[in-house]
A and B are shown apart, each in its own frame.
Chain A
């Protein structure tokens, strides 16, 4: 299994009056080269689950093994290195820096790796060609359309060539045409060997033929129908 969660729980503000139990004893296994959708209502814990898979949060208890390592529990200096090489993130609002050009946004994750500007650009150009945004290379990211912005976010997630792509509600702010386009790109990435985990309650995502498994999340637990 590429992603394996074993009795993972997450409690925010533990021991305080505003304590929230976001996940309770969640176990989940995701094999390589599959596309899984985490589906559930707002506040069900699916974003927390995605954040634990993405090692943004450490679980309060339990073990999250990603690509053979309990990544989230590694010391910080190792976690950053492994996460950078293993996981690509696509955020709900894309989190693109509008003042930077499209190419600079895409190459941003390569900066800490000490890769030369020439190689950084070469990698970005390949992705921009694949995602049909090459003509926007030097445009400030704040001036491109919503669909192009989404592709910039995808290119940025892929630029390190990670085996796992995580997308948190990626179609929440897109119309149905752009949502379908997004899912087609994800389907192509899956066929190219990537493992993809998407959180969504959008039927365009949950019912897409490329989705191998829909995992229901409710009240911080895996919802078994």
Chain B
């Protein structure tokens, strides 16, 4: 299904990302072999000029990869119109065995690609290129992920056959029957909501404490807390919150939230969740960079800003995911 506007957009975006990344990997190898900021040699001065261009290319390339997650989900939602049995992105993604792995790799990639961009932004805020080696080594490690991302996506698009019947989300996200267990039978709704809101309160408290008095252990806890909350929130959205938004007790699809019938609320929900989780966790991950020359203040400033924004996103996310539930309860609904 390559001859389709969405497939072409996705493929071109990915090719752009992988080509830009590939060019930068060549620089990365040269940086790892020859980089020496104390040297006045011709090679070092040429490398200093080269990394500017190369880093800009990578930043754009990885930016494209991040944007491709949104394109991928939109494309999957569009593909469902031509795939037999598919009602939303769930059906499209399950139309062959590469759809879900591609989505997973793209989702994980947002965090990994985003973190490279954060490292780059910190590095260019110092006069002495303190993170050049780190970020180029990281780029070399990241490139296989980019390649896997593009490969899975290409295999997925190439393997899409409109005449092969796939599953509807109502079937995929239904509770297991006959004594089996699955995501939807993990625990009671109340227990999941209790954990969900407790974690949220904990994150808000930790974030507030961090802004009041910075402490690296608290901040590590905050980062880990966000990772935990990210996973938990995805489960709770699927198991509990989605059905309140759809106003249908047995509809638990995490992808239908992205549809126009629900005012694209899924984009706001997942956007705030991914943004908050990324910023909250990256504030902790950049801590070791504080030890690099000229970066202590820059990193501290980033961490403070990241925690502030992650808290705002958490509040927005809480409002977006609680609104329909609270509305239902306020109008006399029963749990």
Contacts and interface: CB of A to CB of B under 8 A. Distances in A.
Decide whether A and B are members of one complex: yes
Interface of A: 6-7, 9, 58-63, 69, 73-78
A76 B53 CA distance: 12
Given A61-B42, A73-B45, A74-B127, 7 more contacts: A7-B40, A59-B45, A60-B42, A60-B45, A63-B40, A75-B52, A78-B127
A62 to B, nearest CB: 5
A61 B45 contact: yes
Contact of A76 (B41, B52, B129): B52
Contact of B40 (A61, A69, A74): A61
B49 A61 contact: no
A62 B48 CA distance: 13
The size class of the interface chain B forms with chain A is 10 to 19
B148 interface: no
A73 B42 contact: no
Contacts of B127: 69, 74-75, 78
A176 B42 CA distance: 43
Contacts of A78: 127
Contacts of A7: 40
Interface in B31-61: 40-42, 45, 48-49, 52
A119 to B, nearest CB: 28
B329 interface: no
Contacts of B41: 61
A78 B125 CA distance: 9
Given A74-B127, A75-B124, A58 B40 contact: no
Nearest to A78: B127
Interface in B117-147: 124, 127, 129
A73 B48 contact: yes
Contacts of B129: 75
Nearest to A58: B45
Contacts of A59: 40, 45
A9 B45 CA distance: 11
A77 B123 CA distance: 12
A69 B49 CA distance: 18
A21 to B, nearest CB: 12
Interface string B186-224: 000000000000000000000000000000000000000
A73 B52 CA distance: 12
Nearest to A75: B124
A60 B129 CA distance: 19
A78 B129 CA distance: 12
10 A-B pairs with least C-beta separation: A61-B42, A63-B40, A78-B127, A62-B40, A74-B127, A60-B42, A61-B41, A75-B124, A73-B48, A61-B40
Contacts of B48: 58, 73
Nearest to A60: B42
A78 B48 CA distance: 14
Contacts of A77: 124
Contacts of B45: 58-61, 73
Residue from B45, B48, B52, B124 having most chain A Cβ neighbours under 10 A: B45
A69 B127 CA distance: 10
A12 to B, nearest CB: 13
Nearest to B40: A63
A76 to B, nearest CB: 7
A63 B39 CA distance: 9
A192 to B, nearest CB: 29
A77 B124 CA distance: 9
Nearest to A61: B42
A9 to B, nearest CB: 8
Interface in B82-130: 124, 127, 129
Contacts of A6: 40
Contacts of A61: 40-42, 45
Contacts of A58: 45, 48-49
A53 B129 CA distance: 22
Nearest to A59: B45
